[in-house]
Amino acid sequence: MMDSRYTTMLLPLNGNMRDLASGYDWKMDTGASLPSFASGANCPILGNKVAMDLDGTKSIMGPRMWTPIAELGMPDLSSSGVYVNNLINALNDATDTAWHTNSSIPGAYVRMSFPNPIEIALLCIQTSGATNSIYNFCYSDDGYNFVPIRTIGPLNSGWHNNFFEMPVGLGRHKHYRFELTNTPGDGGWISEIKIKQPHEMAFDVLDHDFTLDWWEYRRGGGTVFLTENNVSFPGMLFGYGGDSLYMTSDRSSWSIVNRCSMGGYTSNTWTHRAVCRRGAHFEIYKQGRKVNYWDSSYKLAPVWSGPPAIGRSGTDSNIFNGLLSNVRLTNGLCRWTSDFNPSLISYEDSVLQHPVIYTPRSIGAPMGRWS
């Protein structure tokens, strides 16, 4: 039985195109329903498992993997003045305005109160901290007694997007707030608060162990999978141009690996591919044989805007040309650390009947930032 800590996406499998973590259906990039699976395109090694023929013109888009705060509830207002009012209004109508902490004193806060309790797995805030403002992020069940979750700051000067993973067992709560703990001068800001719930974390491998593996039958180049479409630097980009792999931690450069070879691609042949991480060590396998590796302790950038995609690459129209089957991302488990026999891999249909739940790791230092 699969360990419930792991989130596995398995697409397509016997015609099912559904993300196992969220339960959302995947769609063609036009928003239309998926076409029929390719007739006679069964991967011979996988037996009755079917394949999707993308033929260089089609790609498949995943669900949105974060929820705007305005869709979850109406944040309340603290007594810190007009800038806080602007931030509250921004959260409710999706405009871009910030809480400026100038003239604020310790204890000033912005509170988010939701109609129903929610669990926050990942927090992202845009900040500017020219005066080293420091905040506590807290939760409450009654709206009066708040328990600190973690300290945010002192913030770095200049504008940054900071993201923080929440501790295991945080649970669902109705009230959260940012509470100022010092007396900053001019220049402290909080803006663009985003949160992610546990079911939206399937593609946020961060610094966890993970495995992405798939079967491909290529007629040409094209991208297999990326974690975030329509951004210049998604966290992970696999198979770009047929053979290259890219990863980023800061969303502004390929800071983890840049144009790493995946061993070349073989045309008109069913080929198994796998990319694995264990700790700070990454490995790439082709047909079960290790073809490349590198080390990095960086955390992969999470998904915050565009959805994940199969068969294309972000702002590029690099569409996959060929057949894909059993594209599987396992978040939390490194499946292989040495050569293996891909013909013995079993994809159990029953896994579709038992969606699994992502569990975040224990709290630690801030995971990273991008500018």
CATH number, domain 7-65+201-353, options 3.40.710.10, 2.40.50.100, 2.60.120.200, 3.30.505.10? 2.60.120.200
Task: Give backbone dihedrals phi and psi of 151, rounded to 5 degrees, phi first.
Answer: -95, 140
Percentage of the chain modeled with pLDDT above 90: 20
**Position 305 confidence tier, pLDDT thresholds 50, 70, 90:** confident
Q: What average pLDDT does the chain have?
A: 75
CA dihedral for 166, 169, 175, 179, sign (positive or negative)? negative
CB 186 within 8 A of CB 131: yes
**Position 86 confidence tier, pLDDT thresholds 50, 70, 90:** low
Which H or E run contains 83?
helix 82-93
Which H or E run contains 293?
strand 289-295
Q: Round to whole Å and give the CA distance between 310 and 31.
A: 14
Predicted local confidence at residue 6, as pLDDT: 55
Contacts of 252 (CB under 8 A, 6+ apart): 233, 370, 371
Nearest-CA neighbor of 17 among 8, 7, 27? 27
pLDDT digits (tens, 9 = 90+) for 160-173: 777 888 887 789 99
Predicted local confidence at residue 294, as pLDDT: 97
Reading the block at residue 39, the tokens are: 């007739």
pLDDT average, residue stretch 7-27? 58
Q: What secondary structure letter does DSSP report for 167?
A: P
9 pLDDT higher than 50:
yes
262 pLDDT higher than 60:
yes
Q: Which range, of 2-6, 49-53, 221-225, averages the lowest pLDDT? A: 2-6
User: How far is residue 22 from each of residues 97, 132, 166, 202, measured CA to CA in Å?
Assistant: 30, 38, 19, 8
178 pLDDT higher than 90:
no
| CATH 2.60.120.200 domain residues, the chain | 7-65+201-353
CB 332 within 8 A of CB 210: yes
Contacts of 258 (CB under 8 A, 6+ apart): 246
CA 355 to chain centre: 18
242 pLDDT higher than 60:
yes
81 pLDDT higher than 80:
no
33 pLDDT higher than 60:
no
283 pLDDT higher than 60:
yes
pTM of structure: 0.81
Higher pLDDT, 289 or 127: 289
CATH number, domain 69-196, options 2.60.120.260, 3.90.600.10, 3.40.50.300, 2.40.30.10? 2.60.120.260
| CATH 2.60.120.260 domain residues, the chain | 69-196
